[in-house]
Amino acid sequence: MTDAYTRFIRSAPGGALAKQLGLPRPARLLRRDDRPAPVLGPVVVLGDSAGADGIAQLLLHEGHDVRRRFEELRSVGSVILVLDEIASPADLGPLVLPLAGAMRSLAPGARVVTISRPAGDEDPARDAARGGVEGFLRSLAHEMRGGATANGLLVEDDVALEAPSVIGALRFFLSARSAFITGQFLTVSSAAGSATADRALPLAGRTALVTGAARGIGAAIARTLAADGARLVVLDVPGAGTELSRLANELRAVPIQLDVTAEGAGGRLVAALRERGLSLDAVVLNAGITRDKLLANMTADRWDPVLAVNITSQISLTDALIDAGDVLGEQPRVVSLASTSGIAGNRGQTNYAASKAGVIAFVDALAARLEPLDGTANAVAPGFIETEMTAKMPALTREIARRLNSLQQGGLPVDVAEAISFLASAEAGGIRGETLRVCGQNMVGR
């Protein structure tokens, strides 16, 4: 799915004109169907720590072409900068500057991933260096070309780099599944999580619920989870019953027609799951609506439904599922849909931004509640995604929104779905209370 401007720019005359006038030239992003290989090689692992040696050995053991320097390489597919032992800002230069001379050698769709430790409040020099990694990585992401991306992992001091969630997140960022994610960090706060037995089907044997599943991003989430091996329960309002039934038939899923804002909706969901003998391993809280107006024109009939659907329903449904005690599996995963509007705000969306900022705070608190169950809660915050909803935006507003990110284009619903599938997997057990932006590094917010 490409817009008219992008199609023109990718033509020979359009490309020449864009180069002459300095217009945005969005590259074609290589997604899973375009590049099924889990890692684009050769892979260069930079760093002089034991952690760097361990990452290099692991990738070698998996059969990847791994190097420790750029010499004699005309093309580089992936770069991993392991910065876990930096002790002062002076340590950064020798470790990251080798990449400078190789930037023009990065292949289309290349991946750069940093692995470092989060700053704390103990050692000023060490924490300054660790904080510097964030500024370096986010700026580097703005400089990537050809659909290449740069992302980072922050691994807590008591978590080994070989922990399942570290390796799982590294694989996700290196893969084509992260095509529309750049300039972002994920924190691995725990050694919890387990390796996936079959990487081609990371959700095999797991049952997942997707709310708001009948169309758009919800349907893409359902299809992606199913492709990754999950058994699905798809939920939407009765008014979307036809589309929901069609999707359920396509994916051999269990359909549930339910208004998530109705009184007692959580109890009815629990009853429906019990009736079918189902236990959920993953819950994807995707249902959401917009009712945009400037605050000067905002009324309760626009404000209240947005808060009710986008955040209050998430709270009530998860309360009901947890309190039931028998409808959540071991190590449950909850993934909520936030938005970059909840991070940076957006004109005319005070209600929507309030609800999505609420989601970001909600998953942080919910993660603590789920920890005794060995569960996790995280959020995904999409930026501009090409959907039926965004297609209705005014043409100029829509075009500007597409270009206001480092990849200079809108994302696709599948980009959101891929991030959710990873966070719903067993190997993401050490990632808790995080909000991952799927926005192409939108140039607002952080």
Are 291 and 244 in contact by the 8 Å Cβ rule? The answer is no
352 catalytic residue (yes or no): yes
Q: Of 303, 352, 362, 384, which residue is the catalytic one?
A: 352
| 89 prior amide bond cis, ω within 30 | no
Nearest alpha-carbon partner for 85 in 185, 157, 152: 157
The residue assigned the tokens 């660790």 is 130
If you search the block for the tokens 């290349």, which residue do you land on? 110
30/25 Cα distance (integer angstroms) = 15
What is the strand order of the sheet 185-188 is part of?
Answer: 66-67, 43-46, 76-82, 106-116, 149-155, 185-188
Cβ contacts of residue 356 below 8 Å, gap of 6+? 310, 311, 338, 339, 341, 342, 381
CA atoms within 13 A on the CB side of 148: 24
Q: How many Å apart are CA 260 and CA 285, to the nearest integer?
A: 10
Q: What is the DSSP letter of 411?
A: B
Listed residue (178, 127, 190, 191) closest to 152, CA to CA:
178
Residue 291's alpha-carbon distances to 296, 345, 394, in angstroms, are 14, 15, 16
Give just the sign of the alpha carbon dihedral 217, 221, 224, 226.
negative
| Residues classed as catalytic | 352
